[in-house]
Chain A
Amino acid sequence: MSNEALLIAMLGLPFAGSVAAALFPANARNREAWLAGAVALAVQGLAWWVYPEMAHAQVLRLDLAWLPALGLNFTIRLDGFAWMFAILVSGIGFLVVLYARYYMSPADPVPRFFAFFLAFMGSMLGVVLSGNLIQLVFFWELTSLFSFLLIGYWHHNAAARDGARMALIVTSAGGLCLFAGALLLGRIAGSYDLDVVLRSGDAVRSHALYLPALLLVLAGTLTKSAQFPFHFWLPQAMAAPTPVSAYLHSAAMVKLGVFLMARLWPVLAGTDAWMWTVGMAGLVTLVLGAYLAIFQHDLKGLLAYSTVSHLGLITVLLGLNTPLGVVAAVFHTLNHATFKASLFMAAGIIDHETGTRDIRRLSGLYRYLPVTATLAMVAAAAMAGVPLLNGFLSKEMFFAEALEAEGPVRAIDRALPFIATAWGMFSVAYSVRFIHGVFFGPPPAGLPRIPQEPPRWMRFPIEFLVLACLAVGAFPALTIGPFLDIGVRSLLGAQAPAYSLAVWHGFTTPFVMSLLALAGGAALYALLFRYLARGEERTPLLPKIDARLIFDRILVVVSWRWARSVETLFGTRRLQPQLRWLVLAALVAGVVPVWRRGLDPGPLPWSSIDPGLAAAWAIGAVCALGAAWQAKFHRFAALMLAGGAGLVVCLTFMRMAAPDLALTQLLVEIVTTVLLLLGLRWLPKRIPFAWTSAGARAALPRRLRDLALAGSCGLGVAALAYAVMTRPLPETISSYFMENAWSRGGGTNVVNVIIVDFRGFDTLGEISVLAVVSIAVYALLRRFRPARESLETPPRPQDADDDLLVPAVIMRLMFPMAGMLAGYLLLRGHNLPGGGFAAGLVLALAVILQYMAGGTRWAEERLAIRPSRWMGAGLLLAGATGAGAWAFAHPFLTSHTAHLHLPVLGELHLPSALLFDLGIFSLVVGATGLILIVLAHQSVRHPWN
C-alpha cells in the first residue's frame, strides 16, 4: 500500500467509522464495539506497517491542496513522534473500546457513544498527524468539541452537563488563543508548514512577537493539559462514563497539551520566558495536584487529581529546557498513559460492581475481587513509582533532572529536589490510599450489591496494560527503548541526548530520593489515616478555594449579568432613541465633510423673488410648523395643515416648470389624505391635557434636545439645498434625454419619456413596490378586527365624508367622469402632463369616492373589482412589454413607436412605452384601490372579542 493511501486511511478511518457507527440501531452494542475496535486496530496496524520508515527516522508526508489562495495545504505528516502518539492513541483506544463494550449498559444509546468516540479518536490523530499549524488548530478544536459531547454523554444528570460545558468553555477558549498563537507563529516563520516552523526556531525566539506568540500557544496547551490555574475542569469531567475518562485523561485529550509543547519544544523552548511559564505552571500543578489527590474520597476524583499532577510532572520536565528533560517527559507520557488508563478502568469496575466510588464506603474488596485488586495494586505501584515498574524509571529521570536543573533563580534550583521528593511522597500516599482504602480492611458494609469479578474480556485491557507496566519496568531497554528512541530522535533531531534506560543506576541520589519518597509516603498515609477515615470534605492547610465555584460565578456574572446590563446600557428596544441615533448619525454624516472641507455658497446671484410664490412658501412653512405643533392632540387639524404644506409643494412644482410633478403630487396628496382620514378613526382619542409643571419639567430636557436635533437637521438640509442651488448646474446626462426624447423616445414630455422609457426600469421596480405594499396591507387587514372601543367613538363609518363635506350625489356622478379623465390622462401622458400613474390614481380615487358616497356596503354591491387581478395584470403587461423587445433581439424594455391616426384624439403616437404605461395604470388602480378598499372595509367589520 502506498504511503499516501496509508496516511489518508489512518486519518480517515476513524471518521468514516464514526459516521457508520452513528447509523447503527440503538441496541447494537456488539456490532458497535466490533466496528470501533476494528477501526482502532486498523489504525494501529497501519502504524506498525510503517515501522521500518520510522525506525530510519523518515518523515512521511502528504500534501493536498486546501486553500491554495492562502497558501494553506492539507498536510498529513507522520514522523517518529507523531507515530509514537498514533500508536498510543489507537492502542489505548482499542483497549477502551473493548472495556466499554462491557461497561456500557444495554440501556445506553451506544451509537452516539461510539460515534463520538471514534470521531474523537480521529480528531486526536488529526492533531498528531497535522503537517501545519492551522490544520493542527483545526483538529485541536474538534477534540474540544467531541470531548464535550463525550463528557456530557449522560446528559440527564446535571453534573455531566456542567462538567462538559466547563471542559468545552475552558478548552475551546484555550483553543482560540492557540489559534491566534499559531497565526503569529506562522507569520514569524513565514509559513504555517510545520517543517518550516520547526526549522526556524532561532528566528522565532529572537523575534519581537515571540512572547505574545508563546503566551497564546501556552494558553492553549496549559488549558488542554489542565495545568494550574486551568486545572479545575479536569476533575469535573469525571462525570463522564468511565471509559471516556480512561481514554481522555490517560492517553488522549489531556496529552494533547504536552504533545504540542513537546512538538514545539525545539521552536519555543530554551528561553527564560519558557522556563518561567511552563516550568512554574508545571511545578505548581505537580505539587498541588498530588496534594489534593490525597484527600479525595471519590476514586475517580483521586485519579483525576493524580492525572493533573502527573501532567504537571511532564510539563515541568519540558520546562527545564534540557533535552534530557524532554526525553523524560516523553517517556513519562507513555508510562502515565499505561498505568493511568488501567487504574481508571479498575475504578470503573469497582464502581460497576459495588455501585459506589466513595473510598469511605469501600473497603476489603480484595476478598471479592482478588484479580482486579492485584492488577490495580500493580498499576498503583507504578503510579507511586515503585522500582521494577515503569513509573519508577521516568520518576528517576525526573529526580535526576531536578538535581541538575539550572534556572534563572538559584533558590528554585536548590528547592527543586526537595519539591520533587515531596511530590514523590504525596504520590505514594494517594496510591497507598487507593489500594488500602479500597481493597483492605474489614469487609464493606451496606453496599448496594455483592461485588464479583467482571467478565473475562472486561478485565483484559487492564491485564494487558499492567503487563506493559511490568515489562517496561523490568526490561525498559528491550521493550520501550526503540519506540522512545524513535520519538525522541524525530523530536529533537541532532539535539537528541544520550540516555540510558537501565533499571539500576547504582545507589545514586535519585534512588535515595525514591526511597525517601516511598518511606515518607507510607508514613504520611499512616499519619493521615485517622483524619482520612473521618472523611471530612475539605483539604487541610489549604484555604477552601473551589476553582469550579469561582469559575461558575465568574461565568454567570460576566457572560450573563454584565452582558445584560451592557446590552441595556448600549442598546435599546424603544423606537425613539433609535430614531434619535439615526437622525444624529445623518446630521453628523452631513456636517463632518462640510466641516472638514469647508463649504461656501455658490457664485450665482439670487433670482428675482416672485412674491406670490414666496408668500405661498411662507404659508407652507407655517403649515408645517402648525402640523408639528398640533399632531399630538388635534389630529384632524394637523392632517389638514400637513395637507396644506403638501399643496404648497405641489404649487411649487407647478410654478417651477414641473407640471407632471404638480399633477402627481396633487393626486397623491388627496389619496394620502383620504387614507389618513380612514385610518385616523381607529386611533384612540387623545384628550388635550395641561402639562403638570412636574411633568413639563421632566419632559423639558428631552424636548429641548429633540428641538435642537430637528432645528439643526432643518438648517443642514436648507444649507445643502441652498449651496447646490447657487451653483451652476453641472454638465448632466439630462441633455441626452432632451435631445432623444422625441427622436428616439417618441414623446415630447421628456419627464414621462424618462419614466416609461429612458429609466423605465426604475418605474418597473417602483410599481412592484406599490404592488408589494398593497399585498402586505391586504394581508394585515384582511382578518384584522379593530378594537371595540375604537368603534364606539366615532360611531358611523360615514363620518369620514362628513369631514370631506362632498355631497354623495356629486361623488357618484363623478365616477364615469373620473374614468374618462383617467383614460385621457393615460393616452396623452407621453406628450403632455399625465401618464399611467396619474390616471391610475384618478380611477382609484373615483372608486373610493363611491365608497364614501354610498358607504361600504352600497359600493361593494355595485362595483366588483378584483384589485389583485388588476395588479397582476398590470405587472405582467409592463413586464411583457419589456420582454417583447427580446423578440427583436433588443435588450429588455427597448421601446418601439407606432404612429397612427384616430378620429377623436387626432394624430397619435403609440410607442410600446404606452403599453408599459397601461401596465402602470392597471397596477396603480389595483394597488391603490386595494389599499383604500380594505381600509374602508374596516368600518363594516365587527370587533373581535
Chain B
Amino acid sequence: MELIVALLIGTLAGSGVWLLLRPRTFQVIVGLSLLSYAVNLFIFVMGWVRGGRPPFVEPGAVVDFARFADPLPQALVLTAIVISFATTALLLVVLVVARGLTGTDHVDGQEPDA
C-alpha cells in the first residue's frame, strides 16, 4: 500500500517535472498543477496513520490520539491547496497576457529559432 502511494506521488512528480521543462507555457502550467498534486499528497502522507479515522472528536470524549489521522498535515495541505490554486490562476492569466503581447506561447516570449 505505502509503496503504491509512493509510486503514485513519484509518477505525478515525475510527469510534472517533465512538463515543467517543456517549452510551451501550457505544458508548464499543467506540469505545475501535477506537481502540486504530488506535493499535496506528499504533505498528506507525512502524517500517515494506518487505518486512522477522520480527525473528528466527540465533544467531551477522551481521545486516544493513535486512532485518528494526523490533522495537522491535513490543515497544511488545505493551505497549500489554496495557495497553489491562487498562484496557478495568476500564472494562467500571465501566460494568456504574455501570449497576447508577444504573439507566441513559448516560455521565453519568442520562438527559439527567432
What is the interface of chain A, defined by CB distance below 8 A to chain B? 573-576, 579-580, 583, 604, 606-610, 614, 617-618, 620-621, 624-625, 627-628, 631-632, 635, 638-639, 642, 645-646, 648-649, 652-653, 656-661, 664-665, 668, 671-672, 675-676, 679-680, 682-684, 686, 706-707, 709-711, 713-715, 717-722, 724-726, 729, 732-735, 737-739, 741-743, 748-751, 754-755, 758-759, 762-763, 766-767, 769-770, 773-774, 776-777, 780-781, 784-787, 790, 831-832, 837, 927, 931, 934-935, 938
Contact = CB atoms under 8 A, between A and B. Distances in A.
18 contacts: A575-B107, A618-B4, A624-B11, A624-B34, A628-B18, A632-B27, A648-B8, A676-B92, A683-B25, A683-B96, A713-B13, A717-B13, A718-B7, A722-B6, A734-B71, A755-B78, A773-B89, A774-B86
Nearest to A580: B21
A683 B50 CA distance: 45
Given A575-B108, A679-B92, A617 B85 contact: no
Contacts, number: 315
B4 A672 contact: no
B96 A679 contact: yes
B69 A766 contact: no
Given A657-B53, A738-B57, A628 B31 contact: yes
Given A635-B26, A717-B38, 18 more contacts: A576-B22, A624-B11, A627-B34, A628-B15, A657-B68, A658-B77, A672-B33, A676-B29, A679-B93, A714-B11, A725-B2, A729-B47, A738-B57, A738-B68, A739-B65, A754-B71, A786-B96, A831-B56
A167 B60 CA distance: 83
Given A635-B26, A763-B79, A777-B90, A658 B44 contact: yes
Contact of B69 (A573, A657, A721, A784): A657
Contacts of A639: 30
A575 B12 CA distance: 22
Contact of A658 (B1, B11, B54, B89): B54
A621 B10 CA distance: 9
A784 B102 CA distance: 13
Given A642-B30, A659-B54, A717-B42, A632 B22 contact: yes
A780 B8 contact: no
10 nearest CB pairs, A to B: A714-B14, A718-B10, A628-B15, A710-B18, A722-B6, A714-B10, A657-B69, A754-B75, A621-B11, A750-B55
B81 A664 contact: yes
Contacts of B10: 714-715, 717-719, 721
A684 B2 contact: no
Contacts of A664: 78, 81-82
B65 A608 contact: no
Majority secondary structure of chain A interface residues (helix, strand, loop or mixed)? helix
B90 A649 contact: no
B113 to A, nearest CB: 11
Contacts of A832: 56
A649 B42 CA distance: 11
B100 A751 contact: no
A223 to B, nearest CB: 45
B82 A766 contact: yes
A63 to B, nearest CB: 56
A573 B86 CA distance: 26
Nearest to A771: B86
Contacts of A574: 107-108
Interface size class of B (residues with CB under 8 A): 35 or more
Contact of A725 (B5, B27, B59, B92): B5
Contacts of B21: 576, 579-580, 583, 706, 709-710
A709 to B, nearest CB: 6
Nearest to A673: B33
A671 B12 contact: no
Contacts of B77: 653, 658, 661
A646 B72 contact: no
Contacts of B82: 664, 668, 766-767, 769-770, 837
B18 to A, nearest CB: 4
A505 B53 CA distance: 111
Contact of B18 (A649, A676, A707, A743): A707
Nearest to A572: B108
B86 A773 contact: yes
B16 to A, nearest CB: 8
A926 to B, nearest CB: 13
Contacts of B53: 657
Contact of B57 (A580, A610, A750): A750
Contacts of B70: 729, 732, 734
Contacts of B108: 573-575
Nearest to A654: B54
Interface string B88-105: 111011111101100111
A432 B17 CA distance: 81
A614 B93 contact: no
A787 B99 contact: yes
Contacts of B31: 628, 631
A934 B94 CA distance: 13
A739 B62 CA distance: 8
Nearest to A938: B96
Contacts of B12: 620-621, 624, 645, 649, 714
